[in-house]
Amino acid sequence: MRTKGFTISEIVIVLAIIALLITSGVALIIQYRSLSSRLEVVTNLHSAKILVEGLIRNSLVQENIEGVITKLSEYPGFEDVEAELIDATDTINGTVFTVRLLDRRIAREEEFYVYRFDPFKK
């Protein structure tokens, strides 16, 4: 006579399948979190780069550009980004600025150039 219910082997198999699904789910969650944090760093540096380009190109007085760039980490969202003006080279009708951005969380460094056109330069 068969009684109602599951055998111990059926319960063990179901628990093993559930454990396998949970472990693979946890591994995927960890992988996606690390991927999203790397993407956040890249996006943060790109946003900082665009902000620095705008600050340089739209600044009315060239003398205060270095002070504005070094204060980048005071802007909301850029607390972990450090900006440094390395060089400012004069050209015929403008200035080329060399800027270095450093993300302190992962120590990623990016150096780029910004050209500031000055139509009134002699």
In a domain, 44, yes or no: yes
Is 122 contained in some domain? no
Q: Which residues contact 71 (CB under 8 A, 6 or more apart)?
A: none
Residue 76 lies in a domain: yes
Instruction: Provide the 3-class DSSP secondary structure of residue 5.
Output: coil
Domain that holds residue 19: 8-117
Question: Within a domain: residue 3?
Answer: no
23-81: per-residue pLDDT in tens? 999 989 999 988 887 788 788 888 889 989 998 888 777 778 888 888 888 888 888 88
Number of domains in the chain: 1
Q: How far apart are CA 112 and CA 62, in angstroms?
A: 18
Residue 92 is assigned to a structural domain of this protein: yes
Residue 1 lies in a domain: no
Q: CB neighbours of 41 closer than 8 A, spacing ≥ 6?
A: 103, 105, 106, 108
Cα distances from 64 to residues 39, 42, 49, 58, 60, in angstroms, run: 32, 28, 18, 12, 9
The residue assigned the tokens 């319960």 is: 11
pTM assigned to the model = 0.67
